Structure formats: C-alpha cells, structure tokens
Amino acid sequence: MVKVAVLVSGGGTNLQALIDEFNLGTINGEIKLVVSNRKNAYGLVRAQKAGIKNMCIKDQDELLKTLKEEGIELVVLAGYLAIISDELIKEYENRIINIHPSLIPSFCGMGYYGLHVHEAAFKRGVKVSGATVHFVSSTVDGGPIIIQKSIDVSNAKSPEEMQQIVLTVEHQILKEAVRLYCDNKLEVVGERVNIKWEEL
C-alpha cells in the first residue's frame, strides 16, 4: 500500500474525490496525511471528518521533514497554491503529482492558478478546456504529463461556470492518475510519461 499525502489550500473538493475513491478500495494506497499552507482551509476539515491526520505547515523545510517522518511515498497537490521548494522536488522526484485546470501547455505557468486560469480562458473565448495531471518539476506546470482530459465549455456563461465544468474532469483524472501511480503503471522517460496499459 502506497502512503499518500495530499496538499491543499482551499475547499478540497479534489481531496474529497480522492478520499471517496480510497474508501471504495479501488486504489492500492492510503491517504496518511493532509497538509495545508492555510490554517482555515476547508480541506483540513474534510480530512478530520475522514479520520485522516492533518496539519497546517507553511515552511517547506518543515513540510519535507514531516513527509519523511510519516514515510510518505507519493505527494498529491490538490489545489495547493504554493510553490514547492527545489529541495522537496529533488527528494520526491517523479513522486509529486499536480492537478492543473487546463490542457497544458495552454493557460499554465506563473500566475495561472485557480479561477485565474478560467478567467483567462473565458476572456479568450475558449470552446474546449479540460484538466491535466502531471508530475511536478522545478518549472511551474512544466513536469511530465500523466493524463489529460478535455471537455466542452462553449456554453459556460462565466469563468466561475467554466471552473465548475472543468472540476468534474479534474476529479476523474486525478483519481485515475493516483490509481495508476499506486499500481506502478507509470514510467517517466525524459519529458514523457508512458502508461503501461497492457498490464492493466
């Protein structure tokens, strides 16, 4: 069983989707820890309700120390709005997964997070959006892509509505990416991730 930590900054709907999936027993792992960089993040309440150890940590050195102490093998960024330190990335190379609310390389990088992504996409008149799950590298949103899924957003009347539409896709592919990782089905080759579908 893979020991997983989930990092959140806000409401934690992606965290809840993961908690529900782990509870179904479809993922070969366990969420051992939920960490937020914001003490009032509702994601911490979700973790507490699920009986998962949770804490607020702002310092990246303390975060790394805690992950090691807890024996964490996979770190999932689920709406975590802080830049991960190079030291943590090096220590957990190809073991940190992030969900981004666009089809990378569109609307990604510095400044593109949360609702800002959808505001930019809505302003541009995007008809198809989606989400991307990728490994974290020292380049913001620049790590190897694991899974992407698109969805029609042409009927969205606002950035907030677009965000809600894309969120449904986020929940789907984040769960799938974590499942694939925990089943050892992901192989990073250069900047690409090969999925060992034939062994599923």
Residues marked as catalytic: 100
| CA 166 vs CA 145, 169, 191: distances in Å | 17, 5, 25
What is the secondary structure of 150-190 as a DSSP string?
A: EEE-TT--SHHHHHHHHHHHHHHHHHHHHHHHHTT-EEEET
| CA 56 vs CA 35, 66, 100, 189: distances in Å | 6, 11, 22, 34
The strand pair at 186-189 and 192-195 is best described as antiparallel
Q: What is the DSSP letter of 7?
A: E
Gap between the Cα atoms of 130 and 143, Å rounded: 17
**Phi, psi angles (nearest 5°) of residue 9:** -125, -15
Q: Give every strand in the sheet of 128-135, ordered side by side.
A: 54-56, 29-36, 2-8, 74-77, 96-100, 128-135, 145-152, 192-195, 186-189
Residue 147 amino acid letter: I
